[in-house]
A = this chain, B = another copy of it.
Amino acid sequence: MANDAEPVESEARVRSSFAKQGLMATLGATLETVSPGVVEIAIRPRPAISQQHGFVHAGAVTAIADSAAGYAALSLMPPGTGVLSTEFKINLLAPASGDRIVARGRVVKAGRTLTVAQSEVFAEVAGQEKLIALLTATLMTIAARGGISD
Contacts of A93 in B (CB 8 A): 108-109, 116
**Which of B17, B51, B82 is in CB contact (< 8 Å) with A23?**
B51
Q: With an 8 A cutoff between CB atoms, is A76 at the interface?
A: no
Q: How many copies does the complex hold?
A: 4
Q: With an 8 A cutoff between CB atoms, is A33 at the interface?
A: no
**A4-12, A57-65, A121-129: which lies at the B interface?**
A57-65
**Bound CA span A25–B17, Å:** 25
Show the binding face of A for B, using Cβ within 8 Å: 17-18, 20-27, 46-54, 57-60, 62-64, 66-67, 82, 84-94, 108-109, 113-114, 116, 118, 131, 134, 136, 138, 140, 147-150
